Amino acid sequence: DLNRLLQGPCLFGKQRFAEVKVPDELQKWVKRRPKGDALIRLNRALLVEAYPDELTKSRVQTALDKLISILKDDKALIRVRLAAASTLRALRAEEAVEAFVDLLNHPNVQMKIIVSAALVEMGDRRGRKTLAEQVRSKDVSVRREAGVQIARMDPKVLFKIRGLKRKKHDGLVMLFEDLYKYGQSVYPFTVEAFLRIGRYDRLLQRLRESLRDDHPLLRAAAMETLARMEEPNLGPVLLKALQDPYAIVRRKAVEALGWLKVGEGIEALRRVALQDADEEVRATARRSLRRLGVWL
């Protein structure tokens, strides 16, 4: 019963979190074996990690009240408050509107973006200015977070905001353009941003097109993201990419072959591990082989 768990100071040791990847921040908190209010906050944090889907689907008032309580709790871990904000946004919880407004000037950029996007989606004009400022930010990390949060927003809602232009401030356009512009320095963060957006049709279409892009980083990012999303029928693309003239593309291809079971993959990895001109690519191929239980 998630409502009961959200309300009570239940011991985390008696709950089942075996399959939950507990973040390091929470792991340190667990080791301190907190009591009282601190234990309740820890338990809520673990529940948010363990049951995000169930919490999102639950429209029970007590769950909403508790999520709003978590959102307002200045002593709660920021990660937990962000998760509560995201869940309330997904629920379009009108009960949370004033709590969202109170957080529009929060020092955490991700919080500002989530609550302002939530308000815009619910038709509350008070979120427009803050969201527009984050989307137009000159800081690439702020823009990237904004891109993630607005990527799935209804364009009819988003582009009612003064100063936001469809061709320039679309979330996906922003992420791809920054990867073009800043290259290797933003590559890992951009891939993680794509993964956070998830299997969204517009993103998948753009990634599939990018497999044939002239820019090697675009090809590499598309291949890595699709492989980590377990895109079906990616094997032939990965095998062909082993012949790419750019080492980063070949390296991402051999990494992906270590995650996915691809026919001819092991033999191809053996060849790369022994013959590729780039030492880092050869080392990555050896690691992929070991991941598949094969040693040279």
pLDDT mean over 197-216? 95
Q: Is the pLDDT of residue 245 over 90?
A: yes
pLDDT at residue 120 is higher than 70: yes
Per the structure block, which two tokens stand in for 218?
Answer: 């675009």
Enter the pTM of the model.
0.78
Q: Are 71 and 88 in contact (CB under 8 A)?
A: yes
- Alpha-carbon distance 231 to 207, whole Å? 11
State yes or no: pLDDT of 285 exceeds 70. Answer: yes
Mean pLDDT of 106-115: 97
| Domains of the chain, start order | 1-91 (no CATH), 103-196 (no CATH), 198-296 (1.25.10.10)
CA distance 12 to 27: 12
Query: Stretch 61-87: mean pLDDT, rounded?
Result: 89
Q: Which residues contact 24 (CB under 8 A, 6 or more apart)?
A: none
Burial of 47 (0-12, 13-18, 19+ CB in 10 A): buried
Write out pLDDT tens, residues 16-26.
Answer: 444 455 566 66
What average pLDDT score do residues 149-153 get?
95
Residue 296 confidence class, pLDDT cut points 50, 70, 90: confident
Q: Which long-range contacts link 268-272 to residues 24+ away (Cβ below 8 Å)?
A: 268/239, 268/242, 269/294, 270/294, 270/296, 271/242, 272/242
More confident residue, 85 or 264: 85
pLDDT at residue 11, rounded to an integer: 42
Which pLDDT value is given to residue 22? 59
79-95 residue pLDDT tens? 999 999 998 998 888 99
Q: What is the pLDDT of residue 295?
A: 86
> Would you state the pLDDT for residue 93?
87
Residue 20: burial class (beta carbons within 10 Å; 0-12, 13-18, 19+): middle
User: Which tokens go with 166?
Assistant: 């469809």
Q: Which of 63-67, 98-102, 269-273 has the lowest mean pLDDT?
A: 63-67
Q: Mean pLDDT across the stretch 271-282?
A: 97
Does the structure show a pLDDT above 80 at 13?
Answer: no
What pLDDT, on the 0 to 100 scale, is given for residue 8? 46
The more confidently predicted of residues 257 and 61 is 257
Contact 254, 242 (CB under 8 A): yes
Mean of pLDDT values over 55-61: 55
Q: How far apart are CA 136 and CA 254, in angstroms?
A: 37
Token duo for residue 13? 């040791």
| Residue 263 confidence (pLDDT) above 90 | no
Quick one: which of 199, 141, 203, 131 has its CA closest to 169?
Answer: 131
Q: What is d(CA 127, CA 22) in angstroms, rounded to the nearest whole number?
A: 32
- Among 8-12, 97-101, 156-160, 259-263, the minimum mean pLDDT is found in 8-12
Q: Quote the pLDDT of residue 207.
A: 98
Rounded to whole angstroms, the Cα distance separating 223 from 206 reads 12
pLDDT at 7: 47
| Mean pLDDT along residues 241-270 | 93
Q: Are 222 and 208 in contact (CB under 8 A)?
A: yes
CA 194 to each of CA 179, 204, 223, 227: distance values in angstroms, whole numbers, following the listed order: 12, 9, 12, 12
> Taking the CB of residue 29, how many other CB atoms lie within 10 A of it?
20
Average pLDDT, the chain: 87
